[in-house]
Each structure stands twice: as C-alpha cells, then as structure tokens.
Amino acid sequence: MVALVWLDPGDPFPPTSEALDDPEGLLAAGADLSPTTLTNAYSRGIFPWFSDGDPILWWSPTPRMVLNPAHFHASRSLFKFLRRTDYHFAIDQHFADVIRHCAAAPREGQPGTWITEEMQQAYIHLHNAGIAHSVEVYQDGQLVGGLYGVCIGEMFFGESMFSLKDNASKCALFLLCALHNELGISLIDCQMQTPHLATLGARPLSRDQFESALAERVTNTNHAAWQRPASDLASWRRRYMLEV
C-alpha cells in the first residue's frame, strides 16, 4: 500500500502521477487553503475535497471530465425554457450567497457537504482576490440558482452549482458557456466523469491530455473580463438567441 504524502503549509505538491491509481485520484493530505496554495493546486490540476473533521485532502482524478464551452449541448426544452423564463442573471454580485446555497444543496448519496465552513471562507478569499467567480440566477430579485468556480487564465474550474427553481443551475452553466469569449474561457474543468455531464457536451480526458490542455491555458490572466456590472448582461440572451 502506498503511503499518502502529508504536506505542511508551503510544501510543494507531489507530481500528479503519484495520485492513487483509481478514478478519484487521491494525491496528498495537509497543507492549507490559502489563496496561494489553492492557486498553485488548480494551476496543476489538483483540487481539495474533504469532509468536516477530516484533514485537507487533495485530488487529481483520471479520467478528467472537461467541457469546451463552445460545445455546450442545450436541449430543445432548455432553449424553450430560456426563451420564456423571467430569470435575470448576474456575475459576481453575491458570491458568498452562491457558495452557501451550494453547501446547503442536497446531494444524492451524500448525507452532508464537502463545502465546509472552512472551504467557504477559503473560496470567498479567492473571490476577493479576483480568482473565484460566481454566475447567478435571480427571479423577482431572489437568488434561485447559480454556480461558482476558479478561473486561471483560460481555464474555469467548476466547483459546484445549485437550483432552487426549475433549470436554474443549468441556465447558469448555459450563461457561462454563452459568454465564454467575453470571459476569456476556452475550457471548463468538470472534475469527475458522470453521465449527466456527458449529456451537456462534456468529455473525458486522460491525466496527460488534461494536463497538456491545462498548461496551454493557465499562462494568461483575464481577471478584468469578469469585472462587468450585472446590467451588462441584460442583452446576452437576446443576442445569443438571435444566433441560434
């Protein structure tokens, strides 16, 4: 049995090739959740995932599910919904509320949440540093859905989403993909392989393929692209719908 690498804060991550040989790919434990550590981890295709009371665990799964935003598959029913919905959309207006809703969302087969209070605070710090972002869906002024993740260069690392109303999280993902050129995103990391993600256009990559794609995309910064007031999004749906 291979011993799990324990990291002290500031220690470098081991090569991802040392991750356990299973689909989840546990790599290491320990370190911390500082913005520097998280940015270094994501830049190498590593992310934290652990339950309350456990040590911080770091993962590098293979295969890795990714979505080219230009290839997002929207069903006819979703297009119909988007044309008639009264949802309104925003970016980075209420990041902390989005992550708290994601933490509270029930997950099939999971009695609790991996988005612990410690994790929430870590990603709020990343958001304040301009690295983590949220896409938000509103109805009658109330937050009803959204997603959040980490953006480094042209990579968006999706973390979690939630829905309080029909199709709200799917609409948030649709918006993220529809605005990928404006936001400078060319690939979305969906982490784990699932049949549902495949129906949306995501596909699996081996670790080598994923890390090659990652290395091409994390060299640039595009923080300014996310600094757009919510009012700028008012015409996105009309503009996009005219093109389909």
| pLDDT, position 195 | 83
pTM comes to: 0.90
Residue range 5-61 in CATH 3.30.70.3550: yes
Tell me: the pLDDT tens digits for 177-226? 988 988 889 999 998 878 888 888 999 999 999 999 999 999 866 555 67
Look at residue 175 and give its three-state secondary structure.
helix
Q: Which CATH architecture has domain 65-243?
A: 3-Layer(aba) Sandwich (3.40)
Residues of the chain with CATH 3.30.70.3550: 5-61
| pLDDT, position 182 | 85
- The mean per-residue pLDDT over the stretch 48-76 comes to 92
Nearest to 165 by CA among 232, 94, 91, 88: 88
pLDDT of 104 strictly over 80: yes
Nearest to 156 by CA among 183, 174, 119: 183
Question: Which two three-digit tokens encode residue 65?
Answer: 């599910």
Place of tokens 């207006």: 93
pLDDT of 85 strictly over 90: no
pLDDT of 43 strictly over 90: yes
Residues of the chain with CATH 3.40.630.70: 65-243
Question: What mean pLDDT is reported for the chain?
Answer: 87
More confident residue, 240 or 140: 140
Tell me: the pLDDT tens digits for 131-160? 999 999 999 999 999 999 999 999 999 999
Please state, as a whole number, how many other Cβ atoms lie within 10 Å of the Cβ of residue 244. 8
